[in-house]
Every structure is written in structure tokens, then in C-alpha cells.
Amino acid sequence: MNLNRDFGDDIISGEAGIIKDSLKKDAKQYIFGIDMHEIPEVEGDLVDGKYYGSLPKSFFMWENCKDKGLRIGKKALETLKGKGIPVCSYKEILGEPNNNGVIWYPEGLKNEMYLASATFDAYLSKHYCKHVVTSETPVIWMLDTRIEAHLTVLRTALEEKKKGK
């Protein structure tokens, strides 16, 4: 079971239900949300029953934020590249338009699962946060590289939020 895809109307897992109940209980707007993922090694790159071609073997991220002035994706990716961490340059990732390693929402929204707000980041964006990021690292990377990539995005977000962005 993929908990990330269990935030639609039909909850399957107890874990997703607990998270949703906890968020509803506090019922507040958060400044920022981050979801750290790993890109699986999938036979034939079949994800959720759909073939997408080759999944990236490099870093990429989703950034859901209507206010383009608040976005941190470009800065985070520049920092990652400066550290020698490869960033995905595919034209599309999972059917979404890739902008040098970042998929921006709402303008890039093409995936049916996101349209249904069934993923955790889409659910957060719809109900609790104006700015949500999902960072993705390949499981084939060494653990320390994956951790550094995710922490770089988190540090970038915190630095920008501290500045009032």
C-alpha cells in the first residue's frame, strides 16, 4: 500500500485516516508543508497501473504554490546542482511537465491523482497549506546522498520562510 496515494475521499489505510483526523482536529493553515519521497525501482516503470516511460534516476520535486514569488524550487535545485547532486532534465515526469527538475502546480497539473487530491501533498494544498513541496530521490542512490538532497530542500524552504517568503 502506498500511503501517499490514500488521501482521497475513500481512505483505505488506518494511517492516512489518523493523519487526516489529526489535521482536522487542529484545523489551521500551515506556512509550509514538505513530503520527502524516494523514487522506486519499478519493473518497466509502471506506476499505479500506468506506464510512464523511464522514471528519473536523479532528483526532482513537485512544488504546489499559486504565488510564484514564494516558490523555492529554482533556488533549491541550484543549491543541489552546486553540491553535485544530479537533477532530472526530462521533458516530462509521470506525465507532468518538468521545469529543469521541478513540477509546478497549479499550472502543471495534469495527473488524475492530483486532480482528485488523493496524494498527501495535494490534500495538504487543498485544505491546510498554501505552499507544499514533495522532494524525490532515487532509491538507487547512497543513503547519505538522498538525505542530503532532502535536507537541502528543507533548509532552502526554511531559509526562505525566515525571510518572509
Residue type, 120: F
The pTM of this model reads 0.84
> Among residues 157, 146, 135, 138, which one has the least CA distance to residue 60?
135
Residue 113 CA, distance from chain mean position: 13
Domains of the chain: 29-162 (3.40.630.10)
Q: What is the per-residue DSSP string for 52-78?
A: -SPPPSSBEEEEE-S-GGG--HHHHHH
pLDDT digits (tens, 9 = 90+) for 131-154: 999 999 999 999 999 999 999 999
Distances (CA, A) of 77 to 28, 132, 136, 144: 29, 16, 12, 18
What's the average model confidence in pLDDT over 100-122? 75
What pLDDT, on the 0 to 100 scale, is given for residue 93? Answer: 83
Tell me the residue type at 90: Y
Closest CA to 76 of 99, 96, 57: 99
Over residues 61-99, the pLDDT tens digits come to: 999 998 999 999 999 999 999 999 999 999 988 778 899
87-152-43 Cα angle (round to 5): 45
